[in-house]
Amino acid sequence: QVQLVESGGGLVQPGGSLRLSCAASGRTFSIYVIGWFRQAPGKEREFVAAKRGSTDTTYYADSVQGRFIISRDNAKNTVYLQMNSLRSEDTAVYYCGAALDLGIADSLYTRTPAYAYWGQGTQVSVSS
């Protein structure tokens, strides 16, 4: 199995930045797609960004395109989410998930059922 631990959340003013980290342990990190999802109160968990280890493909939700950057350091078994120009609507618990990279369509990894492993979440609050 894979264990995931998120960190880096906190309170930030609108327009500010945060960098989230997702540290993985267990099986070989590079064979997994790592995705970031978020869940706000009263809403379903939604896709934010994902990065494949096999091809280095990245993809983003429209709501964060141009503001967030996902990166991964396979040597450290860590994936990062750099969040810039934060808005109040970005407020949510952010989760990272790991999905075995089976070489199937990238779009699959924008959906929560693709992910077998999840971290505990880290709270991001954007408020003045």
Reported as a pLDDT band with limits 50, 70 and 90, residue 26 is: confident
| DSSP letters for the chain | -EEEEEE--EEE-TT--EEEEEEEEES-GGGEEEEEEEE-TTS--EEEEEE-TTT--EEE-TTTTTTEEEEEEGGGTEEEEEE-S--GGG-EEEEEEEEE--S--GGGGGSGGG-SEE---EEEEE--
Instruction: Give residue 66's pLDDT band: very low, low, confident or very high (50, 70, 90).
Output: very high
How much is the mean pLDDT over the chain? 93
Give the rounded percent of residues in the chain with a pLDDT score beyond 90.
Answer: 77
Across 97-120, average pLDDT: 91
